[in-house]
């Protein structure tokens, strides 16, 4: 357990140092042109701010990314259960035209993870509710910044999430995503329309696949610890299994960690 925690902490520190600034993400549109493919890209990361290195590596090798981009961070909190109304913490990354968001998903230590279809439906519903509430409150408060990169995150609590029964997948329909409310601005309607069109195409789950290596100058104790970690990792479930990601929607990005 100590070795697993030690290497996991070193991986997190490595990712934290490899975080790229928001300006790099915003400049991608100028570098790769309009190479944004239809659909939703769910980029899983342990970081709660900034652009994770697995996404920067993904775009470096494949200069295209999804029209709607969501950085997903799953955190476990020290409470038994987290209610669906308090589970999703949604915010915006960059300007509205970039269609990039961040979602922190919180679970209690006794919460049961649902399948990928239910999770995807809940996440899209949370994004749609966030866009509607942001547009509704735009004239009442200024959005706070988060460490200079991300817009303020907000807990999204909606009746659509509260009414979902455990184990039952909920399909997000056009009426829910592109609701014709008179108080919605044209910008919000356009953004909700893009979200609906991306939902119709489907979501791609982008995960990092780590390869832990030791430096030649590393002490023998560290090499032994990483060797034990790799043995444990080879005999444990992968993140795609723990997250219940469907194989046909999975895209893995190889990440080399020289610890």
In a domain, 220, yes or no: no
The residue among 101, 96, 87, 92 whose CA lies nearest residue 145 is 92
Q: Which residue has the tokens 């791609």?
A: 204
- 32-41, 91-100, 143-152: least confidently modelled range: 143-152
Please write the tens of the pLDDT for every residue from 218-241: 899 999 999 999 999 989 888 888
Nearest to 157 by CA among 126, 127, 203: 126
Which residues are within 8 A (CB) of 27 and not within 5 positions of it... i.e. 6 or more apart? none
Q: Report how far apart, in Å, the C-alpha atoms of 104 and of each of 65, 72, 88, 132, 189 are.
A: 21, 6, 6, 19, 24
**Is residue 147 domain-resident?**
yes
The DSSP 8-state label assigned to residue 100 in this structure reads E
* pLDDT tops 60 at residue 161: no
Q: What is the pLDDT of residue 164?
A: 45
Q: For position 241, what pLDDT does the model report?
A: 86
What is the residue whose two structure tokens read 């696949």?
Answer: 209
Handedness of CA 30, 138, 132, 55 (dihedral sign): positive
233 belongs to a structural domain: no
What is the pLDDT confidence band of residue 136, given thresholds at 50, 70 and 90? confident
Query: Which of residues 199 and 181 earns the better pLDDT score?
Result: 199
Domain membership of residue 14 (yes or no) is: no
**pLDDT confidence tier of residue 114, bands split at 50, 70 and 90:** confident
Q: Supply the pLDDT for residue 43.
A: 95
On whether residue 74 sits in a domain, the answer given is yes
Specify the higher pLDDT residue, 117 or 206.
Answer: 206
The range of the structural domain enclosing residue 192 comes to: 20-215+239-258
> Average pLDDT for residues 38-61, to the nearest whole number?
91
Residue 145 has pLDDT above 60, yes or no: no
Query: Is 3 a domain residue?
Result: no
Specify the pLDDT at position 252: 93
Judge whether residue 123 has pLDDT over 90: yes
State the Cα–Cα distance between residues 80 and 84, nearest whole angstrom: 13
Residues contacting residue 209 through CB under 8 Å, at least 6 positions apart: 252, 253, 254, 255
CA proximity to 98, closest of 145, 161, 151, 60? 151
pTM of the prediction?
0.84
The answer to whether residue 44 is domain-embedded is: yes
Does residue 166 have a pLDDT over 90?
Answer: no
Write the pLDDT tens digit of every residue in 83-111.
988 899 999 998 888 899 999 999 999 99
In a domain, residue 81? The reply is yes
128-154 core/surface letters (b: 16 or more CB in 10 A; e: else):
bbbbbebbeeeeeeeeeebeebbbebb
Computed over every residue of the chain, the mean pLDDT equals 82
Q: How many domains is the chain built from? A: 1
Whether the pLDDT of residue 15 is over 80: the answer is: yes
Residue 250 CB burial class (10 angstroms; 0-12, 13-18, ≥19)? middle
- pLDDT value for 162: 46
């Amino acid at each position: 357990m100590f070795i697993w925690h030690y290497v996991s902490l070193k991986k997190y520190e490595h990712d934290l140092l490899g975080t790229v600034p928001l300006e790099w993400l915003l400049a991608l549109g100028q570098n790769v042109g309009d190479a944004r493919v239809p659909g939703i890209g769910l980029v899983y990361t342990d970081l709660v701010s900034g652009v994770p290195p697995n996404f920067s590596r993904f775009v470096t090798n494949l200069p295209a990314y999804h029209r709607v981009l969501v950085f997903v961070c799953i955190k476990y909190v020290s409470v038994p259960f987290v209610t669906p109304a308090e589970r999703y913490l949604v915010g915006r990354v960059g300007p509205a035209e970039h269609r990039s968001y961040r979602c922190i998903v919180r679970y209690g230590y006794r919460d049961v993870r649902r399948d990928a279809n239910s999770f995807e439906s809940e996440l899209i519903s949370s994004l749609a509710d966030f866009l509607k509430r942001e547009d509704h409150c735009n004239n009442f408060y200024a959005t706070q910044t988060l460490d200079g990169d991300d817009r303020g995150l907000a807990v999204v609590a909606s009746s659509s999430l509260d009414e979902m029964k455990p184990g039952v997948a909920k399909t997000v329909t056009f009426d829910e995503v592109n609701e014709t409310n008179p108080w919605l601005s044209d910008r919000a309607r356009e953004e909700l329309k893009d979200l609906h069109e991306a939902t119709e195409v489907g979501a791609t789950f982008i995960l990092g696949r780590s390869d832990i290596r030791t430096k030649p100058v590393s002490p023998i104790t560290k090499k032994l610890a990483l060797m034990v970690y790799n043995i444990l990792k080879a005999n444990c479930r992968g993140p795609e299994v723990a997250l219940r990601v469907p194989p046909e929607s999975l895209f893995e990005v190889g990440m080399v960690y020289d610890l």
